[in-house]
């Protein structure tokens, strides 16, 4: 398929109507995480969400992708200063894994981990009125999903989570449209994870069918295990997934650091098929964890499902060994 036809496919998929996610799961990724969480709310939390959102749902683009839409808007920069940085945290993938290894937040609060915690508290705060409470809900829905896109919690040599690593083709399709394209609209490793990988996983299914399949794939043991821990641990997990998988070819070798175009050719064999299971699991985890955060904030009787001895992950939840990374 040539570039022009490929663009038509994007248009047909409704992508062009929305801002391209430069630092976010694409709209579909966010929507499906919202859909998953909606199915896991307690009746009390469901009622509260409805009272905040009216006839909108968690997965609707106006809710789940709203923080991407307001990025850079002056009005919102005034209301929520620094919000452009709340979509990610920069953990260094090339940091040596030795006894001094430690992942640290920047400390100024303008990172995704801090913001997930912050907006959960703001959502729970009874004193908060509209529209702040609604904004809190939308921030929480969006950032919890972004936190699970591995490249939102990692960078390598100043590449901004893969935003600087060009991709020339994906499944043989070169989707550069013309020579006049603005450079920020050319595909890169980050946007591949935000959008192309999600579309590949959807495989032509509608969003409700896709969400249903993801939901049915979540076992009781996964539900318990994924419901544990603080957002910092989830970000740490994302970081290791980026380091061990997103930044590597299927054969385990590191992706190139080259910033120059034309960039990489990603195929089923050399990258995509090996990474799709991770995309699926990250979306599922995000849905489960978003539901937990919402239930905690909105339902005083909620307690996360208890995790039994046997339900602990085999590695006790520790980071995978970092050999060679």
Segment near Zn ion (CB under 5 A); pick from 65-73, 107-115, 156-164, 237-245: 65-73
24 binds Zn ion, rule: CB under 5 A: yes
Q: Is 87 or 138 the residue whose CB approaches Zn ion more closely?
A: 87
159 binds Zn ion, rule: CB under 5 A: no
| Residue 158 CB neighbour total at 10 angstroms | 10
89 binds Zn ion, rule: CB under 5 A: no
In angstroms, give the least distance from the CB of 321 to Zn ion: 30
46 binds Zn ion, rule: CB under 5 A: no
Return d(Cα 139, Cα 83) in angstroms, integer.
Answer: 10
Among 35, 122, 135, 146, interactor with Zn ion by CB under 5 A: 146
| Residue 109 CB neighbour total at 10 angstroms | 14
C-beta nearest to Zn ion: residue: 24
87 binds Zn ion, rule: CB under 5 A: yes
239 and 150 Cβ atoms separated by less than 8 Å: yes
Tokens describing residue 278: 């991770």
Tokens describing residue 248: 């590597």
Instruction: Tell me the Cα Rg of the chain.
Output: 19
Compute how many residues bind Zn ion; rule: CB under 5 A.
4
111 binds Zn ion, rule: CB under 5 A: no
Q: Is 35 or 146 the residue whose CB approaches Zn ion more closely?
A: 146
Q: Is 66 or 240 the residue whose CB approaches Zn ion more closely?
A: 66
Alpha carbon distances (Å) from 120 to 70, 108, 134, 295: 19, 18, 12, 10
37 and 294 Cβ atoms separated by less than 8 Å: yes
156 binds Zn ion, rule: CB under 5 A: no
Segment near Zn ion (CB under 5 A); pick from 75-83, 142-150, 159-167, 274-282: 142-150
Alpha carbon distances (Å) from 253 to 222, 268, 270, 325: 29, 16, 10, 9
In angstroms, give the least distance from the CB of 143 to Zn ion: 7
List interacting residues with Zn ion (CB under 5 A): 24, 68, 87, 146
């Amino acid at each position: 398929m040539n570039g022009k036809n490929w663009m038509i496919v994007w248009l047909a998929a409704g992508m062009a109507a929305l801002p391209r996610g430069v630092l976010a799961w694409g709209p579909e990724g966010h929507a499906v995480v919202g859909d998953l969480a909606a199915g896991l709310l307690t009746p009390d939390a469901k009622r509260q969400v409805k009272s905040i959102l009216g006839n909108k749902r968690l997965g609707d683009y106006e809710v789940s992708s709203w923080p991407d839409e307001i990025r850079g808007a002056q009005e919102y920069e005034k209301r929520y200063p620094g919000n452009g940085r709340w979509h990610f945290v920069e953990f260094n993938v090339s940091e040596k894994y030795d006894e001094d290894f430690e992942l640290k937040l920047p400390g100024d609060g303008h990172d995704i981990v801090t913001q997930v915690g912050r907006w959960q508290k703001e959502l729970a705060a009874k004193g908060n009125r509209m529209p702040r409470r609604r904004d809190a809900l939308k921030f929480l829905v969006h950032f919890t999903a972004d936190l699970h896109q591995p490249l939102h919690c990692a960078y390598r040599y100043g590449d901004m989570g893969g935003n600087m690593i060009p991709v020339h083709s994906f499944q043989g399709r070169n989707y550069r449209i013309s020579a006049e394209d603005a450079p920020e609209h050319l595909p890169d490793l980050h946007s591949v994870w935000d959008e192309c990988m999600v579309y590949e996983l959807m495989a032509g299914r509608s969003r409700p069918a896709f969400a249903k399949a993801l939901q049915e794939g979540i076992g009781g043991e996964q539900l318990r295990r994924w419901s544990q821990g603080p957002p910092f641990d989830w970000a740490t997990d994302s970081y290791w997934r980026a380091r061990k998988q997103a930044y590597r070819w299927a054969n385990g070798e590191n992706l190139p650091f080259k910033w120059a175009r034309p960039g990489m050719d990603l195929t089923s064999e050399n990258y995509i098929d090996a990474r799709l299971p991770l995309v699926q699991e990250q979306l599922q985890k995000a849905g489960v964890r978003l539901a937990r955060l919402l239930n905690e904030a909105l339902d005083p009787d909620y307690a996360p499902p208890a995790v039994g001895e046997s339900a602990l992950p085999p590695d006790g939840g520790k980071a995978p060994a970092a050999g060679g990374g």
